[in-house]
Amino acid sequence: MSISPESESPRQLLDDLERRWEIAQAELITLREENAELRRLLAQAQEAASSQTSDGDALPVEPAEKDEPPSPHALLEQWYQRYPEAFFKGHTQPLKVGIHHDLAACEPWSGKLIRRALANYVNLPRYVKSVREGARRIDLAGNDAGVVDAEAARHAAEKRAQQAAATPVERSRRKQGGQSSPKATSPQKKAPSPKTVKAEKTPSEPDLSEKSLSLEDKLLGLKQKFQSR
């Protein structure tokens, strides 16, 4: 019994649908495994933060004045003292992915302020230089927290190139800014223009005309006196 092409088309369609369903199921299983791994890492981070709190190594800090939070730069300066195993002023190591969540669990400030302070650190040239493929990442306590992958290393390399290209421009702008200040004050030292000199000399002219008119008046007065006699 032969099968016509018309009967083969629905069967191929069903096979194709079953194959797609199997692929979707495999992707779903992978996503579930990744989600479980992320949950496990988050639980470990929370447990590490709680253990640090109990040991007194990373106690949450109460703000002195809740209405006046520190600037991002000032908060970063505090982190250098509070988390010396994670934030360095010299040799630097890449931080773990998602470390802002750990900081939010220990700091009393808003997430926006924490991210801005963290951005000041991760954009430093020395930090960008440390982000290379395979480099060890650390958490707030200095423990291993993964490695830098190829995508993060590529992004850091692009940022290094941008910073290197921006440095000469900033230097040239500083030089131009230093030369522009004398030019701004030079108009105050200009010599008076010819128009100004003429304007200063003109007040003497009416005096001569006034003198000539007064002499004529005197002569007329004397003439009238002689005629009256």
Expressed as residue numbers, the domain containing 121 is: 72-171
156-173 pLDDT, tens per residue? 999 999 988 876 666 455
Per-residue model confidence (pLDDT) at position 203? 43
State the total domains in the chain.
1
**For residue 136, what is the domain's CATH number?**
1.10.1710.10
* 61 pLDDT higher than 60: no
Asked if residue 125 is part of any domain, the answer here is yes
User: Does residue 157 lie within any of the structural domains?
Assistant: yes
Band of residue 40 on the pLDDT scale cut at 50, 70, 90: confident
Residue 110, phi then psi, degrees to nearest 5: -70, 160
Q: How many Å apart are CA 108 and CA 96, to the nearest integer? A: 21
> Is residue 106 in a domain?
yes
- For residues 49 and 107, the model is more confident at 107
Average pLDDT over residues 87-116: 94
Beta-carbon contacts of 132 under 8 Å, excluding residues fewer than 6 positions away, are 148, 153, 156
Q: Cβ(132)–Cβ(156) under 8 Å?
A: yes
pLDDT value at residue 166: 78
Q: Which residue carries 């954009």 as its tokens?
A: 123
To the nearest 10°, report the CA torsion of 100, 105, 108, 112.
Answer: 30
